A and B are shown apart, each in its own frame.
Chain A
Amino acid sequence: MAGLATQEQRRSGERLQRLLAGYRPQSGVFDELLDADGRPRPHWSTLLNTLADHTGGELEARFATADRYLRDSGVFYRVQDDPTGGERPWPLAHVPLVIPAAEWRGLERGLIQRARLLDAVLDDVFGPGQLIKDGALPATLVAGNREFHPALRGVPVKTGRRLAFYAADLGRGPDGRWWVLSDRAQAPSGSGYALENRIALAGAFADLFGRLSVERLAPFFQAFRDGLAAASGRDEPRIGVLTPGPLNETYFEHAYLARYLGFVLVEGGDLVENDGTVYVRTVEGLKRADVLLRRLDTDFADPLELNAASHIGVPGLVEAIRRGTLTLANSLGSGFVESPALMSFLPGLARRLLKEELILPSVATWWCGQPQARETVRAEFDARVIGSAFGRRIPVLPGQGGTIGADLDGKTRADILEWMERRGVDLVAQEVVHLSTMPVWQAGRLVARPFVLRAYVAATDDGYAVMPGGFCRVSDTEDARAISMGSGARATDVWVLSDKPVEAVSLLPAPDKVRVHRANASLPSRAADNLFWLGRYWERTDITLRLVRALSARLSEAVSGGRGGASATKRLIETLVGWDAVPAALAGLPANVPMAALTEAVGTGSALVLAREARRAASAIRERLSGDTLRPIDELVALLDAARSDEELTPPEAHALTERAMREIAALNGFIFDSLNRRGGWRFIDVGRRIERAVAIARLTRQFGEPTATPDMLDLILEITDSQITYRRRYLFGAARLPILDLALLDPAMPRSVAFQVNEIVAHLAALPLDRTDGMLEPCRRLAQRLAAELATQEAGGIDRTRILGFEQQVMQLSDEFSSRFFRQNRLDGSDVKGLT
Chain B
Amino acid sequence: MIYDLAHVTRYDYSAPVAESRCLLRLMPVDRPGQKVQAAKLAFEPEPARQVSRIDAFGNHIVEVEFDKPHKSLIIKATARTSIERSMFTVPAATRPWETVREAAREATDLSEAGPAIYLYESRHIAFDTRVTDYCAASFPPGRPILEGALELARRIQKDFAYDPKATEVSTPLARAFQVKRGVCQDFAHVMIAGLRGLGLCAGYVSGYLRTVPPPGKPRLEGADATHAWVSVWCGPEIGWVGVDPTNGILASDDHVILAIGRDYADIAPVDGVIIASGNHKLSVAVDVVPVARA
Contacts and interface: CB of A to CB of B under 8 A. Distances in A.
Nearest to A143: B116
Interface stretch (A131-139, A553-561, A737-745): A131-139
Interface stretch (A68-76, A771-779, A821-829): A821-829
A422 interface: yes
Interface in B81-140: 102, 104-110, 112, 114, 116-117, 119-121, 123, 126-129, 132
Contact of B129 (A143, A303, A370, A396): A396
B159 interface: no
B63 A153 contact: no
A425 B127 CA distance: 14
A316, A394, A395, A424 interface centre (most CB from chain B within 10 Å): A395
B1 to A, nearest CB: 31
A143 B119 contact: yes
Given A150-B117, A303-B273, A304-B63, A139 B110 contact: yes
Given A395-B128, A830-B48, A830-B67, A423 B197 contact: yes
B23 interface: yes
A315 B127 contact: no
Contact of A144 (B120, B127, B132): B120
A150 B57 contact: yes
A531 interface: no
A142 interface: yes
A138 B119 contact: no
B212 interface: no
A387 interface: no
Contacts of B55: 150-151
Contact of A395 (B109, B127, B196, B268): B127
Interface residues of B, number: 41
A415 B56 CA distance: 35
Interface in A384-434: 390, 392-396, 415, 422-426
B56 A392 contact: no
Contact of B67 (A143, A150, A422, A828): A828
Nearest to A139: B116
Contact of A304 (B48, B132, B265, B271): B271
Contacts of A392: 120-121
Contacts of B271: 303-304, 308
Interface in B46-69: 48-49, 55-57, 63, 67
Interface in B185-206: 196-199
Q: How large is the interface on A (under 10, 10 to 19, 20 to 34, 35 or more residues)?
A: 35 or more
A140 interface: yes
A369 interface: yes
A304 B114 CA distance: 25
B110 A425 contact: no
A370 B105 CA distance: 8
B18 interface: yes
A488 interface: no
Given A151-B55, A422-B199, A315 B120 contact: no
Of A129, A138, A143, A309, chain B has the most CB atoms within 10 Å of the CB of A143
Interface string A535-558: 000000000000000000000000
A826 B120 contact: no
A462 B39 CA distance: 52
B168 interface: no
Contacts of B275: 826
Scoring B107, B120, B197 by chain A CB atoms within 10 A of each residue's CB, the highest score goes to B120
Interface string A365-394: 000011100000000000000000010111
Interface of A: 129, 132-135, 138-140, 142-144, 149-151, 153, 275, 303-305, 307-309, 315-316, 369-371, 390, 392-396, 415, 422-426, 826-830
Given A132-B110, A138-B105, 17 more contacts: A138-B106, A140-B119, A143-B117, A153-B110, A303-B271, A304-B271, A308-B268, A309-B123, A370-B105, A394-B127, A422-B197, A423-B197, A424-B199, A425-B119, A826-B19, A828-B67, A830-B48
Q: Which 9 A-B pairs have the closest CB atoms?
A: A150-B56, A139-B116, A143-B116, A143-B117, A315-B273, A139-B110, A422-B199, A308-B271, A140-B116
